[in-house]
Amino acid sequence: MSSAKSHVTLSRQWELLKILPDRGEGKTASELHSLLESNGFKVTKRTVERDLNDLSSVFPIRCDESKGTNLWRWMENRDIQLPGVSVAEAMILQLVEGTLKTILPQVMLQSLSTRFNQAKSKLQALEDSNSNSKLADKIAVVSPALPMIPPSTSPMLYEAVQQALSQSKQLSATYTALYDQQQKQYFLNPLGLVQRGHITYLVATVGSYQDVRLFALHRFTELSLSEQPLLSPPGFTLQHYLHSGAMQFANGEQICLQARVSPYLSQLLQEAPLSEDMTLSPDTDGWHTVNATVHDGWQLKWWILSHGNSIQVLAPAALTQSVVESLQQALAQYQPATSP
């Protein structure tokens, strides 16, 4: 058997092992044949049956013939885990690799590099024999945000946070906030780690205080595990915290946004609404009036400002005034300086 043909056979049989059920009644050779074909392997049912018989001699898989048809599955309590990636997993890894490289710091990417390389090698090896392996070059994910290089973060910071989260301990920290650039020491109660775009945030409280704050991980110069037990706010869960709009840099409150939007922006909002209760009402000039319940925060304001003259905020009044002031200040940057 040629090297190329041997590799194709091995990949097919490895895929077959991965799609074998480990619970339930099992699957017939016909069902497994269909699954292999959907994963891009061109093979006959007879070949699948032959593969199953061959594999059953070296792997803990069994064929149940008690119900009048051969049902294949893994044996109970099997003590084996298959390494490598399936064709479907390889495609997904290829698809997300480019996106993850734009948002995750290098230290987190290093742990995934082996999987990315496995996926690339798998698809390249099957390029001539598996139709699905070619899809990875024809599908892409592009972020709508301006691409930025993630800030450098020491692996020791991640290790300290991981230990504190898993052991429910406090962290001794030295942190430099963006707004004042002053190093400060804290005892932090770590409550979670959140990746937002290209920035990793530690969700934590300070000392005995109950207010939950966000700390950009790359702005720590030191993080060390303390022996003090974690002091968590009563009833706190990370999911509830995220649902409150905190990662939109909101104050936890919701507002009823009312604005006029251009025809183009109204089309975008019809495709991707701001909220479940959003409504769009046509105006006589081709624009639309949008009403939506949204979290009040920086991200909302950034979104409004990003659409420039395609949106006019009508309510609430405080948001309207804040947007007007920001636009006036921006315009002033472009006004020619007046001579004294």
pLDDT of residue 118: 75
Residue 278 falls inside a structural domain? yes
Show which of 222, 243, 264 is a domain's final residue. 243
Residue 82 falls inside a structural domain? no
Q: Are residues 252 and 309 in the same domain?
A: yes
By CB atoms closer than 10 A (0-12, 13-18, 19+), residue 214 is: middle
Residue 170 falls inside a structural domain? yes
Residue closest to 290 by CA, chosen among 304, 25, 298: 304
Lateral strand order in the sheet of 199-206: 213-216, 199-206, 183-196, 169-176, 220-229
Residue 264 falls inside a structural domain? yes
Q: What is the CATH number of the domain that holds 289?
A: 3.30.70
By CB atoms closer than 10 A (0-12, 13-18, 19+), residue 213 is: middle
Show which of 243, 278, 299 is a domain's final residue. 243
52-56, 121-125, 181-185, 323-327: range with highest mean pLDDT: 323-327
Residue 149 falls inside a structural domain? no
pLDDT of 4 over the 60 cut: no
Q: What is the CATH number of the domain that holds 65?
A: 1.10.10.10
Q: Are residues 194 and 269 in the same domain?
A: no
Residue 337 falls inside a structural domain? no
Q: Are residues 319 and 289 in the same domain?
A: yes
Report the percentage of the chain scoring pLDDT > 70.
86
Q: Are residues 200 and 268 in the same domain?
A: no
Q: Please count the structural domains in the chain.
A: 4
Q: What is the CATH number of the domain that holds 206?
A: 2.30.30
Q: Are residues 235 and 265 in the same domain?
A: no
Show which of 74, 98, 113 is a domain's final residue. 74
Q: Are residues 299 and 265 in the same domain?
A: yes
pLDDT band (50, 70, 90) for residue 257: very high
The more confident residue out of 281 and 146 is 281
Residue 9 falls inside a structural domain? yes
Arithmetic mean of pLDDT over the chain: 85
| Cα 330 to Cα 265, 327, 334, distances in angstroms | 22, 5, 7
pLDDT of residue 273: 96
For residues 73, 136, 103, 188, the Cα torsion angle rounded to the nearest 10 degrees is 0
Q: Which domain holds residue 49?
A: 3-74
